[in-house]
């Protein structure tokens, strides 16, 4: 079949080479945006008098028919027509005849595809921001339930100091807040119209780029036609933001996976978010959390794929840019589903409060309390640290904990230690007393949650 761009070609084409060059198997995802972009372009051509009203209206009617057919899934794309743009142009010919050929006046597929990508990403960003927002709500609600749930806080994955489990959840809330900000800011770079840059240099036709931009809901137009057709920063930014988001989700999933293990037993996921084993009847595996951790790799891959595509590209359009699509689609699907899973998984997760508390009572995570106690009574902190360190060693040798040492024994070491030490050594009190701004004290966590509720 003759190509729409086939005028200067007389050699025959090979189907397998055409297939290699085609993007229609994946860029058909842009069908909706492509039609919207064409509608704005033809309205601009009428507005500027480049096309007559009659010609323009025939094209508009044709494009609207295609919109209806697309909605009813009645368009069959073909690989011979290479990409979404040439497929649509062919359909338009079939609808309205040769006047369809006038649509491409003062436009190239280069500014057309860039326009489609901007429109597509704008929609995606809105959806991503909404889903992150929802997940933040879930986190705040869960944190509110667990302000006074005492959990071990870790450094180096070793018990460090007891914390409020609500505080732990709110740490993820804070990360997700930054993620939401980043995707929101991404919108500024997606919200620019490349339409009218034409192939690379603009056009001799008296087009009105502001007009078509407004039609499409873009708040700005690219100021440089070369940049307009070769910029993919807005997608790279999206993939970077998505990579950071997935890194956050993956860290959270890693913790959930640990917490579900027999050694921890801190949480239990509902059956919906778990799977069994085909051989071991007892198994309940946190597969969804593992998959989100795993899928983080493909999102990083999508970012690195596009960064690598871009790094050597001379201006302006190069066919390499066709490789911007699959990664963006893949990342979109991955993060939208991952966010849904996270929201559902956390909202329904059962927290084993007793088990968490218990694990802060049979450990030395109250050692800092004792050192702080001595320091608050005037002993230099370094000296207090040394004394407590030695005590911990003795306890380990004798098989008990700091709270098991009798008062006489404490006072033999230093009379600074009095009866009130036992209350201070209690993990609940240890958390309660951490009043410093942003600390894990219950009041501070409540403040953090209140601020989050106000933000949301
Ligand atoms: N399918 C192409 C892409 O996705 C559209 C632009 C083609 N332009 C060109 N001059 N070959 O990038």
- What is the full DSSP assignment across 359-401? HTTSSSTTHHHHHHHHHHTT--HHHHHHHHHHHHHHHHHHT--
CATH code of the domain made up of 15-105: 1.10.275.10
Every domain range in the chain assigned CATH 1.10.275.10? 15-105
Q: How many residues does the chain have?
A: 456
At residue 6, the pLDDT reads 82
Average pLDDT over the chain reads 96
Per-residue pLDDT, 382: 95
As given in the structure block, the two tokens for residue 177 are 């807040």
For 148, other C-beta atoms within 10 Å of its C-beta total 16
Ligand 1, atom 4: nearest CA belongs to which residue? 322
Query: Would the CB of 401 count as within 6 Å of ligand 1?
Result: no
Instruction: State whether residue 214 is helix, strand or coil.
Output: helix
Which of 24, 81, 83 should be mutated for ligand 1, with most atoms under 8 A from CB? 83
CA of 452 to the centre of ligand 1 (A): 45
270 confidence band (pLDDT: 50, 70, 90): very high
Cis ω for the linkage preceding 446 (within 30 of 0): no
Q: What is the mean pLDDT of residues 131-158?
A: 98
d(CA 448, CA 337): 28
The Cβ of residue 410 has, within 10 Å, a number of other Cβ atoms equal to 19
Three-state SS at 245: helix
Which atom of ligand 1 is closest in space to residue 84's alpha carbon? 1
**What is the per-residue pLDDT for 1?**
59
Residue 387 token pair: 């004394």
Q: 20 pLDDT band (50/70/90 cuts)?
A: very high
Give me the mean pLDDT over the 45-65 stretch. Answer: 98
What would you measure as the largest C-alpha separation in the chain, in angstroms? 102
Please give the Cα distance from 78 to 174 (Å, whole number): 47
Q: How far is the CA of 138 from the centre of ligand 1 (A)?
A: 42
Q: Residue 432 pLDDT more than 80?
A: yes
* CATH of region 364-455: 1.10.40.30
Q: Boundaries of CATH 1.10.40.30 in the chain?
A: 364-455
Say how many C-beta atoms besides its own lie within 10 A of residue 351's C-beta. Answer: 18
Mean pLDDT within 77-88: 97
pLDDT at 228 over 90: yes
Q: What is the pLDDT of residue 92?
A: 98
Pocket probe for ligand 1: among 21, 87, 109, 197, the residue whose CB has the most ligand atoms within 8 Å is 109
Residue from 322, 324, 329 whose mutation best tests the ligand 1 pocket (most atoms within 8 A of CB): 322
- pLDDT bracket for residue 85 (50, 70, 90): very high
Q: Is 146 near ligand 1, meaning CB less than 6 Å away?
A: no
Q: Whose CA is nearest to atom 12 of ligand 1?
A: 322
User: For residue 27, how far is its CA from the centre of ligand 1 (angstroms)?
Assistant: 10
The residues near 452 (Cβ < 8 Å, ≥ 6 apart) are: 136, 140, 170, 173, 177
Q: What is the CA radius of gyration of the chain?
A: 31
Spatial separation of the C-alpha atoms in residues 193 and 214, rounded to whole Å: 9
CB-ligand 1 contact for 321 (6 Å cutoff): yes
Query: Which are the contacts of 349, defined by CB distance < 8 A and separation ≥ 6?
Result: 142, 256, 267, 268, 269, 270
Mean pLDDT value across residues 174-189: 98
User: Which ligand 1 atom is at minimum distance from the Cα of 325?
Assistant: 4
The CA 187 to ligand 1 mean position distance, Å, reads: 24
Q: 76 pLDDT exceeds 70?
A: yes
H/E stretch holding 162: strand 158-164
Q: Tell me what pLDDT residue 275 has.
A: 85
Residue 160's SS3 state is strand
Give the CATH fold of the 110-358 domain. Answer: Fumarase C; Chain A, domain 2 (1.20.200)
Which residues are known catalytic residues? 156, 277
Q: Is the CB of 317 under 6 A from ligand 1?
A: yes
**Strand, coil or helix: what is 270?**
coil
What's the confidence (pLDDT) of residue 429? 96
Residues of the chain with CATH 1.20.200.10: 110-358
- The CA 85 to ligand 1 mean position distance, Å, reads 9
Asked if residue 217 has pLDDT above 70, the reply is yes
Q: Taking 90 as the threshold, does the pLDDT of residue 324 lie above it?
A: yes
List the helix and strand counts (H, then E) for the chain: 19, 6
Cα of 113 vs centre of ligand 1, distance in Å, is 7
In the predicted model, is pLDDT for residue 208 greater than 80? yes
Question: Average pLDDT of 346-369?
Answer: 96
Count the Cβ atoms, other than its own, within 10 Å of residue 343.
18
The rounded Å distance from CA 265 to ligand 1 centre is 53
**Substitution candidate for ligand 1 out of 26, 80, 110, 324 with most atoms within 8 A of CB:** 110
Which ligand 1 atom is at minimum distance from the Cα of 321? Answer: 12
């Amino acid at each position: 079949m003759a190509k729409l761009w086939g005028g200067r070609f007389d050699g025959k084409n090979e189907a397998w080479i055409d297939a290699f060059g085609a993007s229609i198997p994946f860029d058909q995802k842009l069908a909706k945006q492509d039609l919207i972009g064409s509608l704005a372009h033809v309205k601009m051509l009428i507005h500027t008098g480049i096309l007559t009203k009659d010609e323009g209206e025939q094209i508009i009617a044709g494009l609207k028919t295609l919109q209806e057919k697309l909605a009813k899934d009645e368009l069959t794309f073909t690989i011979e027509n290479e990409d979404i743009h040439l497929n649509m142009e062919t359909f338009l010919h079939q609808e309205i005849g040769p006047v369809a050929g006038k649509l491409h006046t003062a436009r190239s597929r280069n500014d057309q595809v860039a326009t489609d990508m901007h429109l597509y990403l704008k929609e995606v960003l809105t959806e991503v921001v909404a889903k992150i927002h929802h997940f933040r709500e879930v986190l705040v609600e869960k944190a509110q339930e667990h302000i006074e749930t005492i959990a071990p806080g870790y450094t180096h994955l070793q018990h460090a100091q007891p914390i409020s489990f609500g505080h732990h959840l709110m740490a993820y809330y804070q990360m997700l807040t930054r993620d939401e900000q980043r995707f929101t800011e991404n919108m500024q770079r997606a919200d620019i119209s490349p339409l009218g840059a034409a192939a690379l240099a603009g056009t001799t036709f008296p087009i009105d780029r502001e007009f078509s931009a407004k039609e499409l809901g873009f708040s700005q137009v690219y100021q440089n036609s070369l940049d307009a057709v070769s910029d993919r920063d807005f997608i790279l930014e999206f993939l970077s933001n998505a990579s950071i988001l997935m890194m956050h989700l993956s860290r959270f999933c890693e913790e959930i996976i640990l917490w579900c293990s027999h050694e921890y037993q801190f949480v239990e996921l509902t059956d919906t978010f778990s799977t069994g084993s085909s051989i071991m009847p007892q198994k309940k595996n946190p597969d969804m959390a593992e998959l989100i951790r795993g899928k983080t790799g493909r999102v990083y891959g999508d970012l690195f794929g596009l960064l690598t595509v871009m790094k050597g590209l001379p201006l302006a359009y190069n066919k390499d840019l066709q490789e911007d699509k699959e990664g963006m689609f893949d990342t979109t699907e991955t993060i939208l589903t991952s966010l849904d899973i996270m929201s559902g998984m956390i909202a329904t997760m059962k927290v084993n409060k007793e088990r968490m508390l218990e694990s802060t009572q049979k450990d030395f995570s109250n050692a800092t309390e004792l050192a702080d106690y001595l320091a608050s009574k005037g002993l230099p902190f370094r000296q207090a640290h040394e004394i407590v360190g030695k005590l911990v060693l003795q306890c380990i040798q004798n098989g008990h904990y700091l709270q098991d040492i009798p008062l006489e024994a404490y006072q033999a070491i230093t009379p600074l230690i009095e009866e009130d030490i036992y209350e201070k050594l209690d993990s609940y009190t240890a958390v309660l007393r951490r009043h410093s701004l942003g600390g894990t004290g219950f009041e501070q966590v409540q403040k953090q949650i209140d601020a989050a509720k106000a933000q949301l």
